[in-house]
Amino acid sequence: MALFRLAKAAEGEPLLRGDGVALRPAVIGDFPAWARLRDQSRAFLTPWEPTWPEDDLTRAAFRRRLRRQVEEMERDESFAFLIFDTTSEDLLGGLTLGGIRRGVAQAATLGYWMGARHAGKGHMTRAVAAAVRFGFATLRLHRIEAACIPDNAPSIALLQRNGFRREGLARAYLKINDAWRDHVLFALVEGEAP
């Protein structure tokens, strides 16, 4: 796919830009900053994420993650990005448009995480806005879906700020922190983004 070639040719350069944020696929040179941010944010992220494998923060696991991301981009299945502050160039978090369904659906699922020290500063709101533009304009999606645990008020507010509408509740939807958790379902349809 042409997008993959663009990302590979411009390795390390931003592919998406938003207000104060830049998003690009991860490269091996991101490992130290990524592992440090994830490790420092473990307690903050644990209530909202699947249980981390024992080797999650190792260089070998990061290499496997990069290989999988490249393969998924080549197959037009998923596009994963790291998020950087354009002023400080600090790694802030990550975001994925994954589970892409073509044909009559033209839909994807949005997932995201933010480092603990960067949370609550508006970075993810701006990153999601950039990803939504990319999803509709470049990937030609019609619908972007997201889900979050019902008591994750910051995540619900983030989605609503970006125009996502609540559509329902999925019982025991994902296994988060070793327990099957209900999730509130949200979606944004092309043309609805603020």
Within 8 A by CB and 6+ apart from 85, the residues are 20, 21, 92, 118, 123
Question: Look-up: residue for tokens 């998924």?
Answer: 72
Model confidence at 37, in pLDDT bands (50, 70, 90)? very high
97-138 pLDDT, tens digit per residue, is 999 999 999 999 999 999 999 999 999 999 999 999 999 999
Nearest to 91 by CA among 100, 83, 99: 83
Q: Which of 13-27, 52-66, 142-156, 174-188 has the lowest mean pLDDT?
A: 13-27
pLDDT of residue 193: 76
Q: What average pLDDT score do residues 14-33 get?
A: 92
Question: Can you give the residue ranges of every domain in the chain?
Answer: 2-189
pLDDT of residue 13: 55
What does the block give as tokens for 77?
Answer: 């299945």
pLDDT of residue 183: 97
What does the block give as tokens for 69?
Answer: 């991301």
Within 8 A by CB and 6+ apart from 22, the residues are 14, 16, 83, 84, 86
Judge whether 146 and 97 are in contact, CB under 8 Å.
no
CATH 3.40.630.30 fits 2-189, yes or no: yes
Within 8 A by CB and 6+ apart from 113, the residues are 41, 45, 48, 49, 93, 94, 95
Q: What is the DSSP letter of 149?
A: -
**How many other CB atoms are there within 10 angstroms of residue 165's CB atom?**
12
pLDDT of residue 194: 74
What does the block give as tokens for 25?
Answer: 């696929």
Helical (H) or strand (E) element with 82: strand 79-85
Q: What is the pTM of this model?
A: 0.90
Residue 7 has pLDDT above 70, yes or no: no
pLDDT of residue 176: 92
